[in-house]
Chains A and B, each alone.
Chain A
Amino acid sequence: MIFSGFLIGLIFGALLQRSRMCFNSAFRDVLLFKDNYLLKMALLTVAVQMILVHLLAQMGLIALAPSGLNWVANIVGAYIFGLGMVLAGGCASGVTYRAGEGLTTAWFAAIFYGGTAYAMRNGGVFSGVWKWFQGFSVAPFQYFDQTTGEGFSKLYLQKAGQTLPSVFGVNPWIVVVICAALILWYVFGTQTSERESKIGLKTAAVLLGAVGAFAWYFSELVGRNYGMGITGGWSNIWSVWLSGKPFSWDGLSVFGIVVGAAISAVMAKEFKLRMPRNPITYVQVMGGGIIMGFGATIGGG
């Protein structure tokens, strides 16, 4: 049921719209306004999803499939992506849900972001740069032996990218417990910035984390071993549009996010076609979108 991607996207989009979740704002609010509300929401979402995803893997419902580790590409790509999202006015999911809210600048950012990601992986513009960075890939790790079933951990695919557990040689649950504990300490043990919002920080984080985790399960059912993916989703939408390729699970989920955010915004009377007064802003967000797509593709996400 590839259509489950669309449904998961619908719910996720509505949640993003109501919770105002955005990684770009999350980090910047801390630096610019000394406001940690969104960062706490983002981190708590990560903790919830981390625990649930490992539980699903423990129950044998999914197999974790971390993409290949590439120190150089991950760091350089993430840095470039960060520059891009500031110009574009939102992170990948931020731009996607705001496109649904009617922010016209987000449409341009998303189009250029997805288009660049699609081009780079399909022999188009900058594809040489992407291939060059692939040269730094760290070889995948063998998590267990196919024939004997013995090995490091059976939570993962037989062969997948290196992870903190595989690098340090510890049980994945130890890493989960340590990371989750650090996040919970930060979220609940330090002072939180006040904010009047539609759904509280904790509720939003638990719901977003849960939807994110179940996305893995539904995606696995159609043979796609991964969670939500915004870059891959936009890239797929481009391949459908340009080359008549079929929709993938993540392509449908991104489509769902836009529609879900739009429905949620209309219901909350927050839908509006927003336009900046200074047209230069469009140039800025298009440039930002290209840089985002470039960075995301190099970084492998």
Chain B
Amino acid sequence: MADYEVSRVIDVRGEVCPVPDVETKRAIKGAKDGEILKVLVDYPLSVERIPESVKKLGSEILEVKKNGGSDWEIYVKVKKQ
């Protein structure tokens, strides 16, 4: 597991659907090109849905890491055209 130079952490654990997805989208829009965001999420549906919406926005998923129980870290590399 590589260590990333994370510039911002988005903690959306415990949030109601679709807050995790919306917050992630918002953070990507507000970030600069090349920034790495770390999304902390504990909601299974969003873990499957966030990577696809990130790709649709043109950004890159570096890693989706599961930590034991229902906790995931999603690393996003922001790409702006």
Contact = CB atoms under 8 A, between A and B. Distances in A.
Interface of A: 20, 22, 24-25, 28-29, 32-35, 37, 89-90, 94, 101-103, 105, 193-197, 265, 268-272, 274-277, 281, 284-285
7 closest A-B pairs by beta carbon, nearest first, are A89-B16, A272-B70, A20-B45, A276-B14, A274-B14, A270-B70, A275-B14
Nearest to B21: A33
A289 B52 CA distance: 30
Q: Classify the interface of chain A: helix, strand, loop or mixed.
A: loop
Contacts, number: 78
Contacts of B22: 32
A111 B22 CA distance: 26
Interface residues of B, number: 25
A168 B39 CA distance: 52
B56 interface: yes
B16 A35 contact: no
A269 B70 contact: yes
Contact of A20 (B44, B53, B56, B66): B44
B63 to A, nearest CB: 13
Interface in B1-56: 11, 13-18, 21-22, 25, 42-45, 48-49, 51-53, 56
Given A20-B45, A29-B49, A272-B42, A90 B17 contact: yes
